[in-house]
Structure 1
Amino acid sequence: MTIRPRAWAASFVARVTAFFCAAIGTAAAAFWPIYGDASFVLMAVVAILAGAALAILGARFRWSSPILLAATLLVYLLIGVPLAVPSQTRFGLVPTLEGFKDLILGTALGWKQLLTIALPVGSYQALLVPAFAVIFASSVVGLTIALRSKRGPLAVLVPVVVFVIGLLLGPREAAPAVVLALALFVVVLSWLSWERWYRRRESIRELSQPTAATSDATAGAERIGGLRTALSAVVILGLAIGVGGAAAVTADPARERTVLRDAIEQPFDPRDYPSPLSSLRKYHQAGVADSTMLTATGLPAGARIRLAALDTYDGVVFSVGTPQLASASGSFTRLPTAIQRDVPARGAEKTIEIDVVGYEGIWMPSVGLLSTVNFTGDSGNLRDSFFYNAPGNTAVVVGGLERGDAYSVDTVVIGDLAPETWSQLTPGTAVVPTATSVPDELTVALDGWVREAETPGERLAAMLSRLATEGYVSHGGPEEPFSRSGHGADRIEELLTAPRMIGDEEQYAVTAALMARAIGFPSRVVFGFAPDGDGVTRIVGSDVSAWIEVDTAQQGWVSIDPTPPAREIPDEQPEDPAQVARPQSPVPPPLVEQNTRPDQIPLDSEQEDEAGQDPLMAILLAAVAVLGVIALIVLIVLSPFLLIGAAKMRRRYLRQRAASSALRISGAWQEFEDMVLDYGYEPPASATRSEVAETVGGIQPLVLASVADRAVFAPETADDDEVRQVWLAVDELGAGLAHTRTRWQRVKAVMSLRSLGGYRVKGLFARERRLP
């Protein structure tokens, strides 16, 4: 590269540097939701200034590309550790060998770690390295292009790239994106306007003669050109800000944007592990029930230790998460910093120390709403293996906990709701996966229990009251009545239909959670321990328990224990005696004597019609034969048109019975597009759905196009009711198109081949359709 003509004037360098630093600083602000800490601000400012200084020195002394690259790498190593890995420095400035290692590894691998951790991350470990690398390198490259390239204005693309990278690495919520985009647009447009004015002024100076008259004319032309450029820039900026702001307010997207953390493979998938609820009976086995699992210091009286929150039921088990790992319960991330929580009215901030004794597993025991966790002992490996799910307040340690592990948690402990307040609750707005294969007996029993209740809270209280009064607890031990383990649909059906309702926390929690959902409360099952004690508490295997949490409009998720109180189980009542059937008579019934007269004519014999054929019948048969011939000729003539109609009916049939709801909605839109073509409309080539709708005109086609786009491209899955509504809308639009046409035009549309022009005959016999 060479320095741009007349570029090395102090005013030019200062202004270009100012514009570039403003642009790259605005773009770097897109990283703020990722870090949310003052360390990021310091890192970004120093990285931009250091990169700008290198670019200016390279332009001033005409460094070649290898020299500039070597200088950039040297400065990157010198300032990278104090800025991006501050925990690996001495006295906050001197890098260590471990710091250089983290800087180099973070440059290559830090981006993936950044996408699999809860935000904001602050200065946790070496996660500042990706942002530092992007900002520093972009500052050097961008300002070098602006000062030394003949196409200097192309440098505005560098801040735009930094801005996009920040958004892609950031969270799904796009709160500051619109404001930052407008601010970056203002800076970039101001920079380009100034560049245009500067090049115009330089061109005028080169063309002008060095006389006094021409100098005055040149100065006047420069002033007029500069004023015109400034006014144009102000007008364009005003229009851009006004239109962009109005569009952002009126057309705010209804869903979160798609970012890279949606596509990255999650480091922990709870579906790879069995449901912890299925292991409840294991803790009641001999040798385990009295064994110490954990010791907890500072545990309040009545507080429960939670292991896992389960919200997905498939008729076999209650599990964590769904096949879509982005779901609230299935997405686990690392927890680098404390979660800032508002202490609920019923909650208290506590610090609880937990020591692992006999417990083993990946599900980490915790209490309440976790804020921070501090591991002791082998804290490095445990910290790196720790993942947390904030919506479910569930923590895991990949690789599992074992004897000797210890940690402390800062948490907000919330007590259970008093039973007398249950009837005052109303359902919340949390979203949980839809339960499948729920036994019909559960709905029948619930209907009988809550028939007289009016509000959802009263129904919830009535349901829990019936479980408490009619249920008995048995873990199936040697001295207990038989109680089968498991919580599949067959076991829940058995619990509700047996003469005696006998089960344990596993069955009662699942039954109560499913009934709460039927009432309208979002619910989930929580598996953990429910010890009795205060202060230093020894948790044994028999303290294992399961309870439910329901989401309420008043207090969010609240814990409810649906297990009946322990009491003596009555003996099973004998079944009603069966009615004794009368013995059958040993005398066989008399045989029915059949009439076998020799002169009787068999029913299947053929008899000749002695009477002659009726003339009227002959005429009718002849007429039917003639009409049949005529109908055959007409059918042959009309067969092409009938085939067209049959092809369209078959096409509609395939679209309505596609494999998924998205395919059925897409098929409904394709049906509408075919109607548009058959009625003579001329959409543009390769038209989008919105363009096709605009060709037809009206609001309803635009609405249908929007619904179809959302069904095809949105991550949510449309339900059957939405599919049915879309097909009804298509039929209404078709009726509207036909209403404005004559009868002959309607017939021509039905027989039109336009919509079949790109449709393969082989596709008419396919079993399923694919999205185009």
Structure 2
Amino acid sequence: MYGTPQLLVAITVTMTTAVLIAAVAHIRRWTPLLQLGATIAALAVLAIPLAAPGALRGAMPLGESAVNVFSAIWTSWRRLTTIDLPVGTDDGLLMPVILLVLTSTVIGVGMILRTSRGELAALFPIAIMCWALLWGTPSPSPIWQPLLLATTTVAHVTILRQARRRRRAERTTSSLPRRFGAGLVAVVLAVLIGAGAALAADLGDRVVLRESPRDPEVELVATSPLAQFRANFDPETRGDVLMTVSGLSTDDRIRVATLDQYDGEVFSAGTSDLARTSGRAQGAVDSRQIGVSIQGYEGVWIPTVGQVESLTFVGPRAPLLSQSLVSDRDETLLAATEGLVADDGYSLMVQPSPTADSLQQLEPVDSEGNGAQLPVSALDWLAGTTAEASTPGEALASIVHSIRDEAYLSHGTDDSEAASRPGHSSARLDAVFSGEHLIGDQEQFAAATALMAREIGFPSRVVVGYMPPEGGTVSIRGHDATAWVEVHTSIGWVAIDVVPSNTGIPEEQETSSQPDQQPLPPVPPALPEGGQPNTDDAGMHTNPVQPPVDPADRMLWLRWVLVVVGLLLLLALPLATIVVIKLLRTRYRRSVGDPEQRALGAWRDFVDLAIDRGRDLEGDRTRQEYAGEDSQVLAFAKATDAAVFSRSQTDEETVDDLWRRRAELLGEIDRSRSGFDRLLSHVTLRSLTPQLFGVPASDAEQTALHRRRESTVALQE
């Protein structure tokens, strides 16, 4: 589900902290409120280091990370079902795991240490397993996972029950091995029978909250970068620095966009299969780290290198970009719907792309023919170039070598270059291949080669990007832009350069005009498949549909207010629940039952609320013994005894008088206490579950309670 070792680190640290909190609370006899406060404090301390470790390394602002992480307490649950797998750890997506493990471990260990029903603590890991099933992948888990959980659950229950039996009868022979062995055999048989039944029934994938691995709501509308390729070579801006990339090797290419759809006018990216994704936190051991700092580049397309295994945004807009990250199914196309602007940055962990030693040896995979979009002149050129080829690999090699050796490279922006118009429509390609010389740049030759590769059986696509002039840390400028072809072969997608080696003006161009130089009627704008408009007058590095949003416009202060209010409400919810439970308990004792029961309810309610205010348990003492030397409480105890044990029917006036005395006594106790102590008494759990939360009691009280339980059992027998 997460696909990163950072999950194991977060679980280990969180579980260890939770065990320590529960153990200290048991040893020090903490009140429930103090234990809750310690748990919330631990969550506040661990959240950023575990869910956003980049903030501690300075990779992103600490304030932004805090807002992102703590708001994820209630927002990440839905994002986990809308982001593509593996979800990674960006955008606070680890917070549900941290929250579940922390609370379940604190409560579960507390139940084991403080109650006589510690076996129920096994429900918490089972609940976490059910959460992982609902929010995880539809694919079934390996059989060893439920078997391991069932085995540890049986061991947990068996050990606790056996320990309880030994405390009751210390001289009995331990049956732990026999009981554990029998339970383990039963579990193994049950799992095997269940697994066999599931296999026989062929149940298939399980039903989870993640209805589809792709998010149908993701839409990306942006200009095809190949349609704006020539803008990179504008004489006024071609030398501007677009980005600085570190960690490059000498043979690296910087990929901007992968374009696989062609409608006769423009190559575009298929955006119908995009889904929200996570950058994932880690790469493989042998991965290489690439750092990218954005300067003049703008657009939704994210420049990458090789095969990306992880992506981590840095800078002030890192959380915003992380939430808007999308990719295609093969993760060859990465985009951020918010768009990259100056001062953005990110770190990549990459693996090298497959390379081919010889084009002649390549064999197509999933062969497809799609040459109908090639103009007749290009088909004639293709037939003549590949006439002697006997295999698809040899035909591909003939195409590439012919373009490299015979064509002329011209961007049409310099007087020393041959005239060359931009565009790669069918009409533009016809002009290239019908002329006396093949004149164009990477835009035309990459598009033509991709279409010719499809004609001879290779699935192909065009990639737009940059060719770094050297390795190491390099400043990428506009004139470094290039385009190449990728064909799908038995070893994967292989990149092929189709940059002509010839530059300048052909000799024939000086004395005669070529058909390629004649002005052609303007091609009307078309809307390619995927919703990408072909707007030739926009710059390559702009995103006219979705311009980047200034972070100041997002009212950061409002996000902080919402986070604080949300945390306060989260803290107040369990406290309000405690207050409501006590009010309902008092109301029940005041209104339900006959007069004797309601009279006794006044005393019980007084004792419980007095316990909340610091008094001891009543234990096995009588009411008058519990009152001690306090004359007012003693009078209340005698009045209660008279009402409960009277031979005559207790009237309503007596009941009302007892409840009035209860209120007066509690008021006397409160008058001697501070306002904070009075508030604390309303939210403590001492009177609700005294044994569970360790209300202090003397040894004499504990002995009396034990004798009382033994006598009750004897009477029942």
TM-score (norm 2): 0.54
TM-superposed deviation, 1:481: 5.5
The 8 Å contact of residues 298 and 353 in structure 1, kept in 2 or not, is answered as: no
The 8 Å contact of residues 362 and 397 in structure 1, kept in 2 or not, is answered as: yes
The aligned counterpart of 1:237 is: 187
1:524 to 442, 449, 461: 461
Distance 2:63 2:343 in 1: 31
For the residue of structure 1 that corresponds to 2:390, the secondary structure is coil
The aligned counterpart of 2:443 is: 506
The aligned counterpart of 1:333 is: 278
The aligned counterpart of 1:770 is: none
1:132 to 95, 98, 110: 98
TM-superposed deviation, 1:324: 2.6
Distance 1:253 1:549 in 2: 40
TM-superposed deviation, 1:307: 1.7
> Measured at CA, do residues 562 and 172 of structure 1 come closer, stay the same or move farther in structure 2, by a change above 3 Å?
farther
> Measured at CA, do residues 342 and 278 of structure 1 come closer, stay the same or move farther in structure 2, by a change above 3 Å?
same
The 5 A counterparts of 1:246-645 are 260=210, 262=212, 265=215, 269=219, 271-295=220-244, 299-301=248-250, 303-326=252-275, 332-335=277-280, 337-340=281-284, 342=286, 349=288, 354=293, 356=295, 358-370=296-308, 378=316, 380=318, 384=322, 387=325, 389=327, 391-392=330-331, 395-396=334-335, 398-403=337-342, 421-427=358-364, 438-439=373-374, 441=376, 446=382, 449-469=385-405, 471-477=407-413, 479=415, 483-492=420-429, 495-496=432-433, 501-533=438-470, 537=474, 539-554=476-491, 556-567=492-503, 568-569=505-506, 570=508, 571=512
1:431-454, Cα deviation, whole Å (9 max, x unpaired): 99x989744857776566445433
The 8 Å contact of residues 360 and 393 in structure 2, kept in 1 or not, is answered as: yes
The 8 Å contact of residues 516 and 523 in structure 1, kept in 2 or not, is answered as: yes
The 8 Å contact of residues 311 and 524 in structure 1, kept in 2 or not, is answered as: yes
The 8 Å contact of residues 307 and 526 in structure 1, kept in 2 or not, is answered as: yes
For the residue of structure 1 that corresponds to 2:483, the secondary structure is strand
1:541-600, Cα deviation, whole Å (9 max, x unpaired): 33321112234434x43321123333444456799xxxxxxxxxxxxxxxxxxxxxxxxx
Distance 1:97 1:295 in 2: 26
TM-superposed deviation, 1:506: 1.6
The 8 Å contact of residues 313 and 435 in structure 1, kept in 2 or not, is answered as: no
TM-superposed deviation, 1:370: 4.9
- For 2:447, the aligned partner's letter is V
1:105 aligns with 2:71: yes
The aligned counterpart of 2:38 is: 75
The 8 Å contact of residues 305 and 365 in structure 1, kept in 2 or not, is answered as: yes
> Measured at CA, do residues 490 and 378 of structure 1 come closer, stay the same or move farther in structure 2, by a change above 3 Å?
same
For the residue of structure 1 that corresponds to 2:227, the secondary structure is helix
> Measured at CA, do residues 161 and 319 of structure 1 come closer, stay the same or move farther in structure 2, by a change above 3 Å?
farther
The aligned counterpart of 2:144 is: 179
> Measured at CA, do residues 449 and 140 of structure 1 come closer, stay the same or move farther in structure 2, by a change above 3 Å?
same
Distance 1:107 1:157 in 2: 22
The 8 Å contact of residues 350 and 412 in structure 1, kept in 2 or not, is answered as: no
> Measured at CA, do residues 45 and 147 of structure 1 come closer, stay the same or move farther in structure 2, by a change above 3 Å?
closer
The 5 A counterparts of 1:643-722 are none
- For 2:77, the aligned partner's letter is W
Report the aligned-residue RMSD: 5.6
For the residue of structure 1 that corresponds to 2:493, the secondary structure is strand
Distance 1:317 1:156 in 2: 60
The 8 Å contact of residues 474 and 482 in structure 1, kept in 2 or not, is answered as: yes
1:241-280, Cα deviation, whole Å (9 max, x unpaired): 44456678899999898663946858974x3222211110
Distance 1:256 1:464 in 2: 48
> Measured at CA, do residues 135 and 404 of structure 1 come closer, stay the same or move farther in structure 2, by a change above 3 Å?
closer
TM-superposed deviation, 1:491: 4.2
> Measured at CA, do residues 574 and 296 of structure 1 come closer, stay the same or move farther in structure 2, by a change above 3 Å?
closer
1:307-348, Cα deviation, whole Å (9 max, x unpaired): 22223444443333441325xxxx54334x2322646xxxxx
For the residue of structure 2 that corresponds to 1:278, the secondary structure is coil
- For 2:360, the aligned partner's letter is S
- The higher relative CO (CA closer than 8 Å, separation ≥ 6) is in 2
1:491-519, Cα deviation, whole Å (9 max, x unpaired): 44555566654432122212222333444
The 8 Å contact of residues 312 and 318 in structure 1, kept in 2 or not, is answered as: yes
For the residue of structure 2 that corresponds to 1:562, the secondary structure is coil
For the residue of structure 2 that corresponds to 1:260, the secondary structure is coil
> Measured at CA, do residues 333 and 566 of structure 1 come closer, stay the same or move farther in structure 2, by a change above 3 Å?
farther
The 8 Å contact of residues 485 and 498 in structure 2, kept in 1 or not, is answered as: yes
The 8 Å contact of residues 529 and 545 in structure 1, kept in 2 or not, is answered as: yes
> Measured at CA, do residues 167 and 288 of structure 1 come closer, stay the same or move farther in structure 2, by a change above 3 Å?
same
The 8 Å contact of residues 118 and 334 in structure 1, kept in 2 or not, is answered as: no
1:701-758, Cα deviation, whole Å (9 max, x unpaired): xxxxxxxxxxxxxxxxxxxxxxxxxxxxxxxxxxxxxxxxxxxxxxxxxxxxxxxxxx
> Measured at CA, do residues 198 and 491 of structure 1 come closer, stay the same or move farther in structure 2, by a change above 3 Å?
farther
TM-superposed deviation, 1:77: 0.8
2:133 to 167, 170, 175: 167
Distance 1:136 1:341 in 2: 30
- For 1:75, the aligned partner's letter is A
> Measured at CA, do residues 36 and 402 of structure 1 come closer, stay the same or move farther in structure 2, by a change above 3 Å?
closer
> Measured at CA, do residues 509 and 46 of structure 1 come closer, stay the same or move farther in structure 2, by a change above 3 Å?
same
The 8 Å contact of residues 84 and 103 in structure 1, kept in 2 or not, is answered as: yes
TM-superposed deviation, 1:281: 1.6
For the residue of structure 1 that corresponds to 2:75, the secondary structure is helix
The 8 Å contact of residues 302 and 415 in structure 1, kept in 2 or not, is answered as: no
TM-superposed deviation, 1:184: 2.6
Distance 1:389 1:126 in 2: 19
> Measured at CA, do residues 436 and 112 of structure 1 come closer, stay the same or move farther in structure 2, by a change above 3 Å?
farther
The 8 Å contact of residues 385 and 402 in structure 2, kept in 1 or not, is answered as: yes
TM-score (norm 1): 0.51
- For 1:361, the aligned partner's letter is G
User: 5+ residue gaps in structure 1?
Assistant: 1-29, 206-214, 344-348, 576-772
> Measured at CA, do residues 274 and 193 of structure 1 come closer, stay the same or move farther in structure 2, by a change above 3 Å?
same
Distance 1:574 1:137 in 2: 76
Distance 2:76 2:46 in 1: 15
For the residue of structure 2 that corresponds to 1:272, the secondary structure is coil
- For 1:423, the aligned partner's letter is Q
TM-superposed deviation, 1:471: 4.0
Distance 1:256 1:501 in 2: 57
The aligned counterpart of 2:14 is: 43
The 8 Å contact of residues 449 and 466 in structure 1, kept in 2 or not, is answered as: yes
1:389-426, Cα deviation, whole Å (9 max, x unpaired): 594555545544445556676656679756xx111223
The aligned counterpart of 2:553 is: none
> Measured at CA, do residues 566 and 403 of structure 1 come closer, stay the same or move farther in structure 2, by a change above 3 Å?
farther
Distance 1:232 1:408 in 2: 53
The 8 Å contact of residues 85 and 128 in structure 1, kept in 2 or not, is answered as: no
For the residue of structure 2 that corresponds to 1:85, the secondary structure is helix
For the residue of structure 1 that corresponds to 2:272, the secondary structure is coil
> Measured at CA, do residues 447 and 52 of structure 1 come closer, stay the same or move farther in structure 2, by a change above 3 Å?
farther
